[in-house]
Amino acid sequence: MGGTRTMVLKLVALTVAMFGFGFLLVPLYEVFCDITGLGGRTSNEAATEVAIAPDTSRMVRVEFVASVNSNGPWEFRPEVGSMMVHPGQMYTTTYWAKNLRERDIIGHAVPSVAPGNAARYFNKTECFCFTEQKFTALEGRDMPVVFIIDPDLPAHVETVTLSYTFFDRAGLAAAETPQAGLQ
């Protein structure tokens, strides 16, 4: 009987340890991706250094993608699907978003760059993703992105995709704290 009890306690401890490890894995992965640029994560801060000499001998295709999290109360899209750019030269594009609710809401955009190894070379100097976006009821507006692709982008990378997922900040907060919906 004592052996069974010991085995059950060990299995419970192992289950708790595995749950704890799984719970901590997501924040650790996010920190790792932020530091290394892996996984297509871009910085949520404005780039401070700007390349001085554009590489006019090379063109890179930048594709723009927009998505809304499930049940998001938004219409969200890039103004252009793609553009050809010279690495080292600054460009501006816009995304358009509209609040589809008849009440004020706050949106937040999460950027991603593909291929993942290109994220460290994609620098935004101005972006709506740096701050939360407050929308009045049924408001729609353009939101700018000013970016530059570092001339050190590996030569084999000919296409870079900038993708944003737009979230309702209240819904995002509720997802982060499961008890919020029970109050």
Pick the more confident residue, 175 or 24: 24
| Residue 11 shares a structural domain with residue 58 | no
pLDDT classification of 8: cutoffs 50, 70, 90: confident
Q: State the pairing for strand pair 60-68/159-168.
A: parallel
Same domain, 88 and 165: yes
Q: Is the pLDDT of residue 159 over 60?
A: yes
Q: What is the pLDDT of residue 4?
A: 86
Whole-Å CA distances, 46 to 22, 78, 79, 95:
32, 20, 21, 17
27-31, 85-89, 165-169 — which is least confidently predicted? 27-31
Rounded average pLDDT over 83-103 = 96
Question: How far does CA 55 lie from the centroid of its chain?
Answer: 27
Single-letter amino acid, residue 140: G
Residues 66 and 148 in one domain: yes
Average pLDDT over residues 139-156: 95
Would you say residue 170 has pLDDT above 50?
Answer: yes
The angle subtended at Cα 68 by Cα 172 and Cα 182, nearest 5°, is 25
Q: What DSSP element (H or E) covers 162?
A: strand 159-168
| Pair 120, 177: CB distance under 8 Å | no
At 20-47, the pLDDT tens digits run: 666 555 555 555 555 445 454 554 545 5
* DSSP 8-state class, residue 81: S
pLDDT confidence of residue 174: 45
Are 91 and 162 members of one domain?
Answer: yes
Please check whether residue 13 is in contact with residue 6, taking contact to mean a CB–CB distance below 8 angstroms: no
* Same domain membership, residue 155 and residue 83: yes
| Cβ(81)–Cβ(64) below 8 Å | yes
Shared domain check, 148 and 68: yes
Clarify whether residues 135 and 150 are in a common domain.
yes
Mean pLDDT of 165-171: 81
Q: Where are the beta strands (DSSP E) in 100-154?
A: 105-114, 122-127, 133-135, 140-149
What's the length of the chain? 183
- Position 29 scores a pLDDT of 53
29 shares its domain with 117: no
- Total domains, the chain: 2
Q: How confident is the model at residue 182 (pLDDT cuts 50, 70, 90)?
A: very low
Give the pLDDT confidence of 103-123 residue by residue, as tens digits: 999 999 999 999 999 999 999
Whether 135 has a pLDDT exceeding 50, the answer reads yes
Confidence class for position 52, pLDDT limits 50, 70, 90: low
Q: Could you give the residue ranges of the DSSP H alpha helices within the chain? A: 2-36, 169-176
48: containing domain: 42-179
Would you say 109 and 131 are in contact if contact means Cβ atoms under 8 Å apart?
no
Both 136 and 51 in one domain: the answer is: yes
Residues 31 and 95 grouped into a single domain: no
Gap between the Cα atoms of 18 and 9, Å rounded: 14
- pLDDT above 70 as % of the chain: 72
The residue-averaged pLDDT of 147-172 equals 90
Identify the CATH number of the domain in which residue 121 sits. 2.60.370.10
pTM of the model: 0.68
Helices and strands: H and E segment counts in the chain: 2, 9
Q: Residues 5, 89: one domain?
A: no
Contact 135, 72 (CB under 8 A): no
Is residue 25 domain-shared with residue 95, that is, in the same domain? no
